[in-house]
Amino acid sequence: MREDDTGLRVGRIVEVEAYGGPEDLASHARFGATPRTAAMFGPAGHAYVYRVYGMHDCLNVVTGATGVASAVLIRAVVPVAGVEAMRRSRLVAAQRRRAARTTDGLRRAASSLARTADARLASGPGLVAAAFGIDRTWTGRDLCPSTATLRLVAPDADHADAHPDAGAVRRNGGVLAGPRIGVAYAGTTWAALPWRLWLVGEVAVSGVRGPR
C-alpha cells in the first residue's frame, strides 16, 4: 500500500517472481553488485526498483540478508483502494511515453485507460509501478515500517474490513507456479525453474504466455 498526500492506494499482490543472487543467471545480480543492483544486495524488506526496456519501472522487494542478493518482483496487484489515484498515475506514466506525447497518441492512451477495468489497472510489473506512482528513485526504501509511505502489510491486517476483496488470499483456488517470464537468456536450467507464483483465477494476473 501507498499512503501519502496523493491518496491511499491499496493493492493485493496476486503474482510474483523470485530472483536469486549471482548464481541465478536470470537475476540482475548475475553480474554482482553494480550501482544499479546495489539495493538487491541490501537489507531485506527494502525496495529494488529498476527500469526495463527503457520504459517501465518494476518494483521488487529485497528478500535476502544484507550482502545476499535476492528479491521478489511484484508482477501484478488487484486494486483494493485508491483506484482513482492509480488511474491518475497511470495517465502520468502514459504521458511520459513518447508514443503518447502526440495529441492523438495521448487521446488513445487516455481512452484505452478509461476502458481498463479497475481490476486490471496493475496487471503487469510495469503497471504496478505506474499505478502506484513508483519509479527508480524509490529504490532502497524500507517497505516495512508501519509509517512508510510505501509499505507491505499482511493481507488480513489492515483492510480486511475495508473492502470485501481484501484478505482474500485463501478465497480462491490457491497458488500455482511456473517458469519466470522472459528469462530464456538464462539457459534452460534457470529459465525452467518454477519461480513465478500466482493466485489461480485472478484476472489481474499477467502473462498471456504462461498457464493460468
Partner DNA sequence: ACATTGATTACCT
Partner DNA sequence: GGTAATCAATGTC
Asked if 88 touches DNA (CB under 7 A), the answer is no
Instruction: Retrieve residue 169's grid coordinates.
Output: 488470499
Q: Rule CB under 7 A: say whether 17 interacts with DNA.
A: yes
How many CB atoms are located within 10 Å of the residue 191 CB?
Answer: 16
Q: In terms of CB distance, is 95 or 172 closer to DNA?
A: 95
Calpha distance 209→41 (Å, rounded): 30
Task: Give the residue with the Cβ less far from DNA, 152 or 162.
Answer: 152
Minimum CB–partner distance for residue 150 and DNA (Å): 18
Considering the complex, what minimum distance in angstroms separates the CB of residue 56 from DNA?
Answer: 5
Among 4, 22, 23, 31, binds DNA (CB under 7 A): 31
For residues 12 and 159, which CB has a smaller minimum distance to DNA in the complex?
12
Residue-by-residue DSSP string for 78-112: EEEE-HHHHHHHHHHHHHHSGGGSSHHHHHHHHHH
Q: Which is nearer to DNA, 170 or 209 (CB)?
A: 209
Q: Between residues 10 and 58, which has the closer beta carbon with respect to DNA?
A: 58
3-state helix, strand, coil in the chain (%, to 5): 30, 25, 50
Q: How far is the CB of 198 from DNA (least distance, A)?
A: 13
Backbone angles phi, psi at 89, to 5 degrees: -70, -35
Best CA proximity match to 106, nearest among 118, 119, 93: 93
Q: Which of 5, 98, 147, 170 binds DNA (CB under 7 A)?
A: 98
Print the binding letters for residues 58-77 with DNA: x by CB under 7 A, - otherwise: x-x----------x-x-x--
Q: Which of 136, 142, 155, 169 binds DNA (CB under 7 A)?
A: 136
- Of 45, 130, 10, which Cα lies nearest the Cα of 1? 10
**Rounded Cα gap, residues 205 and 136, in angstroms:** 23
Q: Between helices 125-132 and 83-96, what is the axis angle to 10°?
A: 110
Residues of the shown chain interacting with DNA in the complex, contacts defined by CB under 7 A: 17, 19, 26-29, 31, 34-37, 40, 50-56, 58, 60, 71, 73, 75, 90, 93-94, 97-100, 105, 108-109, 112, 124-127, 130, 136, 180-183, 185, 206
